[in-house]
Structure 1
């Protein structure tokens, strides 16, 4: 053996045996697969590119359905806008008189079917009921139409407690229904006979509201005035709605009488009022209704006193309880 080999053997013997890794100690993934060294400016997230999970993609069928839906919706919106512009152009070229009440003679037979769906969606039945159930004493309903309020009347006078706990009279002693359209009055009379076959103190008159006279005095001393006057959706078709309200005030009992109104007209919002204004001539010519009238201004011009006021449906539905202005 050479001297160099002897020296290396002596050096190994001096260092001792090489240490062995423990049998039960598990090496970490980082130890097994050391991360490659990166330059100092490298993004550390680049180390995970190879181990990142694949991103979830939307199935082609879902993407197709969404694309077709968006295309269909945009096409429908475009159709609505084109139809609106066409209607506006046609409406602005029309000459329609202020008095459109004669249209109801032609629409009387189909009127209920025409308004049924829209009134259900707007819950107008509940609003009619809440208004009409306040009627008491000798009652006059003007612009009664086809009698869409008939089912809500409490006929027959009786004493009961009011909402304040005071004893008062509830129910209708008599009811008079008035409308300018004879065809609509005939339909209302037919409905009433089926709903209340035993009630005799009722009248139906086809006449202008301005010609309605106060009731005749009864043997009990009542009369010369109506205790309650009801009007729903009627101001929109009258040539002089403020003058009509003033006349109704002269035949309403001055101390405790009320005029109950449920009307549609202008909105709280200018954008919606522009739509109503643009389409008003065509709507009035077709349905006999100027739906863009300012009901609040009409009431103020009438000189009647406002007891209650409410609005719904972006402000287009108006509810008023009025009475003659007291001196």
Structure 2
């Protein structure tokens, strides 16, 4: 029995069951141990650390002082303010000198003789200021209303010459009403012979095809109706249909009397007197400046620029058809006609 028992024992086979791991899961026993060691944090020297901190601080955008305005802009604004203040100081000093000079001048009421000396340079002297104020357009809009036999007094150097609508005909006027439009004849009058000569010379260049023109050196306060050779055949020629004056009342010794006379030679029913003038303002502060500088301006340019144009027109007795003002009230435009009975 022992022999047989030991024999069976020797025949026993040890069966080892295979281990089936779960998918995606690995037991701790079967995980390979990593042989890579976690690196230790590198130690920096104090100098390198300070360099990194300074570099990071400089790289960050810094807020600009004074509300974000750059130093270049501040410099420009400072220079501009200095320039403007210096120029204003210069203007004020010049103003004070002119006021002091004006207090010592004895300027006559009639300064029209100044235009004899300023005639050659008159256009150049006023060109820039008239462009800045847009007076060319205002001249054109006024003068294009002229029709029939036209008289321009205080014509100066003919600065209105290019704006006339020449040639009488039927059509629509500036208010789109049917009637007679265009100029039948043009007569230019100025107290300065030198000014009249320049106007005549301009007419040969600007309006060479229009032959019904006359040029006379004469006082506007006593100008007569002279239309021989200009008037339409069959017309009596006792009046002018339109009288034009631009920037003339400022230089006349008797502007009220001159307007009254012009009203007497204007066609009573349909005639018009067209004015474009400069004078007093709406504002007292500006009028004080004009008053203070008026003597020196009149002595140099032959112009009393502080006259009350509205008062002159009212005192003339003419009827106001239209009135407009610009440039703080210093530029006046009038359409007048003789007083209707």
User: For the superposition of Structure 1 and Structure 2, which TM-score range results when normalised by the shorter chain?
Assistant: 0.7 to 0.9
Q: Select which of 181, 185, 191 maps to 2:196.
A: 185
In the other structure, the counterpart of 1:40 is none
What is the Cα deviation at residue 72 of structure 1?
A: 2.6
1:209–1:244 contact (8 Å) kept in structure 2: yes
After TM superposition, the score normalised by the length of structure 2 is 0.77
Distance 1:193 1:138, change over 3 A: same
For the pair 1:310 / 2:310, whether they are aligned, the reply is no
> Is 1:172 the counterpart of 2:183 in the alignment?
yes
Alignment check: 8 A CA contact 1:180 1:207 kept: yes
Which one of the candidate residues 107, 116, 129 is aligned to 1:105?
116
Whether 2:102 is the aligned partner of 1:91: answer yes
Q: How many residues align?
A: 275
TM superposition score normalised by structure 1:
0.81
Local SS of the residue matching 1:111? helix
For structure 2, list consecutive stretches of 5 or more residues without a partner in the other structure. 1-60
Residue 145 of structure 2 is matched in structure 1 by: 134
Alignment of 1:250-269 (within 5 A): 250-269=264-283
1:193 Cα offset (Å): 1.1
SS of the equivalent of 1:236 reads helix
Secondary structure of 2:245's match? strand
* Candidates 34, 56, 65, aligned match of 2:64: 56
**Distance change (3 Å), C-alpha of 1:154 and 1:162:** closer
Please point out which of 308, 320, 325 is paired with 2:334: 320
Residue 213 (structure 1) shift: 1.0
Distance 1:165 1:181, change over 3 A: closer
Question: Closer, same or farther in 2 for the Cα pair 1:181/1:256, shift >3 Å?
Answer: same
Cα deviation for residue 73 of structure 1 reads 2.3
- Check conservation: 1:215, 1:226, Cα contact below 8 A: no
Q: In 1, Cα distance between the equivalents of 2:165 and 2:175?
A: 20
- 1:74 to 2:82 alignment: no
- Say what the alpha-carbon RMSD is for the aligned residues: 1.6
Given that 1:312 and 1:318 are in contact with CA atoms closer than 8 Å, whether structure 2 keeps it comes out as yes
Match of 1:120 in 2: 131
Q: 1:257 to 1:75 in 2, by over 3 A?
A: same
> What is the deviation of 1:162?
3.2
C-alpha distance in 2, partners of 1:176/1:293?
A: 27
Deviation at 1:164, TM superposition (A): 5.6
Distance 1:99 1:165, change over 3 A: closer
Is 2:145–2:174's contact at 8 Å kept on the other side of the alignment? no
Q: Decide which of 291, 298, 304 is 1:290's aligned counterpart.
A: 304
Look up the match of 1:41.
none
Aligned partners of 1:215 and 1:225 also within 8 Å: no
Quote the offset at 1:149 in angstroms: 0.1
Does the 8 A contact of 2:165 with 2:182 survive in 1? yes
Q: 1:301 aligns with which of 308, 315, 321?
A: 315
Superposed CA offset, 1:46-86 (max 9, x none): xxxxxxx9642254444333333322322222222111111
Question: 1:285 Cα shift?
Answer: 0.4
Distance 2:222 2:176 in 1: 38
State how far apart, in whole Å, the 2-side matches of 1:69 and 1:200 are. 56
Name whichever of 286-295 and 84-93 sits farther off. 84-93
Computing the radius of gyration over CA atoms, which structure comes out larger, 1 or 2?
2
